[in-house]
Amino acid sequence: MSLTKQLVELIATKPIAARDLEVSALFLLDATANMIAGQNSSQGKKLLAWAREIAPEGHLSALDDGRKAFLLGALCHILEVDDLHRASIVHPGCVVGPVALILGAKQNGQGVLTAFLKGVEATTRVGMSVGSEHYKIWHNTATCGPFGSAVCAASLYQLSIDQTVHALGNAGSQACGFWEFLTTGAETKHMHAGRGAESGLVAAQLAKHGFTGAPEILEGPRGFYAGTCPKPEIDQLLAKPNDVWQMHLTSIKPWPSCRHTHPAIEIALSLAPTNNADPKNADPKNADQWQLEDVESIRGFTYQATIDLCDQPLPNSVYAAKFSLQHCIAAALSDGQVGLDSFDEKARKRLKTVCEKVSISIDEKVQAAYPKQWGARIELDLADGTVIHKATSSAYGDPDAPLDRTAMIKKANMLFEHAGFQNSDGLIKNILAMPNGAPCPDIIALLDANL
C-alpha cells in the first residue's frame, strides 16, 4: 500500500471529539481574521486589484473556486501573524483554511471544521516527513500545503479513499516554492500560500471527475521525497496515529513577524525597561531597572534556521523587518511591544541605532532542540559591566504556552479593526458556533461587501 493511501486512511479513521471541533473553530477564526486583515496592506491591495480585474464585472464572488482559494490563501499569509506548526514548519491555516471556507460556505459548520482538521493533519504530517534539509531551499508551506488543501477539499466533496489518493497524487506534483524571494524581499511568499490552497482544491475537483494522480507521489523514485528532500524522515508521516490531532500541536502567532523571531521577541519583551517599570512586573535578572541607553551590545542566540532566514541587520522594507531578528529584538526592547506598526519606515529609522547593537549566533543547546522546540537566548551588556541574560525553550502561542479563547478572540478583533471590517462581533460568534452546527460564513461575499 502506498504511503499516500496509508496517510489518507489514517486521517479518515482518526476519531474526532467535540473538543477537536472547538479548537478547529478557533483556528479557523484566526485564519479568517488574517485573510480579512491582509487586505489592508500594499500586497493585499495588489491582490485585490488583480482579482477584481479577472472577476466577471469585478465581483469576487464570480471567481471560480480555485481563484477564490488563491486569493484568500495569499491574503492570509501577508501580515505574518497566521498560525505555524513547529515540527513541520508549515503555516497550515493559510493553505487549508481558504478551501474550508470556499467549499464550506453556508454548509453545516461541523462538516467544515472536520475537513479543516483533516487538512491540517495532512499538511503537517507531510511537513514533518520532509526533513530539515528540505527547508533550506524549499518553503514548507508551499510544498506541503497542497496535500492539506487536497485532503480538506476531498472531505467536503466526500471523495472515496481512492479518489483522495488521486487528489494527493496530483496535489503533490504541484508542490513548489523556493526561498529565493528573500534575497530581494519580493512578495512571492504570499503567492506560495495562495497556490498551495488552489493546487489542492483543483486536484480534488479533478479527482471528483475521475482524473488520476500518482499513488506513490511521496516515495516513488521520481516523486516528492526523491526530488525535494535530501534527508527525508519518512517515518514521521505515519508516526503516532493515535496521538492528538496535529492542530492541537500548532502555534498561534501573537506578533506579526516570522515565527522564528518570536522566542527572542518574548525574551526581549520581558526584559524591556518599559515592561519592568512596575516592581511587580520586574524580571529578577532586571532588578536594577536599567535603561536602554545603558546597553552597549545585545547578543541573540538561536538555531540555524533563524539565522538562515532572519539574519538581516538593517532591513529596508516592512517585509524584511518582519524577517529581521535584529529589528524584532530592537523593537521589543525599545518599545515593550511588537505590533503591526513596528516594521514601517518610521519604526525602522527610529530603531536603527538599537538594531546596530544586535549580533546573532548559534546556541548549540537551542539548535539541538529544534524543530521540536523553538528557543532563544539573549544577553545584554551594560556600560557598567553588568550582563543581563535570559533564555526560553518556546514562545507565547506555542502548544505549551497557548493563547486561550479570550486571547484568540482579542487577536481576531485586533485584525478585524486593522482592516476596518464591520460586524466583526457577528462573524466571530458565527465561526465559534460552527461546532454546534451553525453554517460556515461566506467570506468572499463579506469581502465583496466590505470593498
Tens of pLDDT, residue by residue over 30-79, are: 999 999 999 999 999 999 999 999 999 999 999 999 999 999 999 999 99
pLDDT confidence band for 288 (50 / 70 / 90): low
Residue 90 predicted with pLDDT over 60:
yes
Residues, the chain: 451
- Judged by phi (left if over 0) then psi (alpha if -120 to 50, else beta), residue 205 lies in alpha
Residues forming beta bridges with residue 380, ordered by sequence position:
298, 388
Mean pLDDT of 199-207: 98
Tens of pLDDT, residue by residue over 1-30, are: 999 999 999 999 999 999 999 999 999 999
Reduced to 3 states, what is the DSSP secondary structure of residue 250?
strand
Mean pLDDT of 168-196: 95
Tens of pLDDT, residue by residue over 399-419, are: 999 999 999 999 999 999 999
- Dump strand ranges (E) for 295-384: 295-302, 358-362, 376-382
Tens of pLDDT, residue by residue over 231-243, are: 999 999 999 999 9
Tens of pLDDT, residue by residue over 331-345, are: 999 999 999 999 999
Residue 279 predicted with pLDDT over 70:
no
Tens of pLDDT, residue by residue over 237-270, are: 999 999 999 999 999 999 999 999 999 999 999 9
Q: pTM value?
A: 0.92
391 closest CA partner among 289, 258, 285: 285
pLDDT for res 348: 97
340 closest CA partner among 389, 411, 442, 396: 411
Tens of pLDDT, residue by residue over 115-138, are: 999 999 999 999 999 999 999 999
- Structural contact between residues 11 and 38, judged by C-beta atoms closer than 8 angstroms: no
Domains and CATH numbers, the chain: 3-254+402-450 (1.10.4100.10), 259-392 (3.30.1330.120)
Reduced to 3 states, what is the DSSP secondary structure of residue 243?
coil
